[in-house]
Structure 1
């Protein structure tokens, strides 16, 4: 049986993350540390920080979300982009790891006290690709088990993340979540426009309009 790209990402990320739990050197070598990028040109940290996590809870949450949403998104990419769907999906995920951190890098490029790790930004890109493709699917959170249409969930998620980012009262990189989500949407719309005949944005708008018209 051929493994999906989603499962391969989960396996690789899990193995590297678990290795990092017992090796500070692995964390130091892979973590996103802006001054190392600015002064030593260690650009790979934009990517490698998505392979490590702070603890098992952080890892499990991200990989669970990636599995739940990624399997369906990858399958949809194959339907939209044909035989190149898996490759396009992988490109979206890997590039999201990088793009979601660009605003963070700009803000902290000379901050010796700032570090960031985890695949949350890329996972957000996958989640919002899912919302773009299936806007009426009901979504909720474990600690807030009220199920609402995906497009509403996504809107609330971005609003809350923006508020939390401005407060900067925790150690979570909300900026990566926000820009990862936005990038996932833009990537899918642009890629479908150039390499597919499937009207991603039009389909989303029609689904939402149909839902609103039902009231």
Structure 2
């Protein structure tokens, strides 16, 4: 019997986030707080921050997106690099996507970051390479839009908001996660670029 590792990742994230909603000590230990990494060498925070969320809405948005696209990416990646390879791709995306933020804020005791968005963005953008014309429904827009168009809007919006700041969302992690998802997939299977182009134009 095949076990969906995407569902396992979702279940673990929901469980840990749910516990952290009511356990401030747990949240404080898992969240990315740069001084704890810098001074106390708690490097695990570069990963564990991706398993806690600000609230149920934050958690639901990330996990619904991961559920919607993770299974397709898991299936392809499992054939390429085994199911464990897919899990390592997701976990490494969480780490890689936060590194620029950590380096920028490593001495900022007032900075904190949490959420799986970087890893989810990596999975989403890998899925877009597989099928650029798949339809996405993005709240609050009621109409489905092609995945490649969403990717353009997503990157543009994230760059703009990252430069503007002030909304307590780590748009940098979104961008780096998306970039990592594309780069990892292309390096793993360079032919995906020609597949993407043919699919887009065909």
CA contact (8 A) 1:140 1:153 kept: no
Give the secondary-structure state (helix, strand or coil) at the position aligned to 2:143.
Answer: strand
Give the secondary-structure state (helix, strand or coil) at the position aligned to 1:69.
Answer: helix
* Alignment equivalent of 2:123, drawn from 103, 122, 126: 126
Normalised to the residue count of structure 2, the TM-score between the two structures is 0.96
Give the secondary-structure state (helix, strand or coil) at the position aligned to 1:144.
Answer: coil
Task: Give the match for residue 194 of structure 2.
Answer: 202
Normalised to the residue count of structure 1, the TM-score between the two structures is 0.90
Tell me the C-alpha RMSD between the 2 structures: 1.2
Question: What runs of 5+ residues in structure 1 fail to find an aligned partner?
Answer: 194-198, 211-215
Rounded to whole Å, the distance in 1 between the matches of 2:196 and 2:145 is 16
User: What's the CA shift for 1:17?
Assistant: 0.7
User: What's the CA shift for 1:113?
Assistant: 0.4
Task: Give the match for residue 175 of structure 1.
Answer: 172
Indicate the larger mover: 99-108 or 133-142.
Answer: 133-142
Give the secondary-structure state (helix, strand or coil) at the position aligned to 2:32.
Answer: coil
Rounded to whole Å, the distance in 2 between the matches of 1:3 and 1:11 is 12
Alignment partner of 1:26 is 2:40? no
Q: How many residues align?
A: 202
CA contact (8 A) 2:78 2:84 kept: no
Question: What runs of 5+ residues in structure 2 fail to find an aligned partner?
Answer: none
Runs of 4+ deviating beyond 4 Å: none
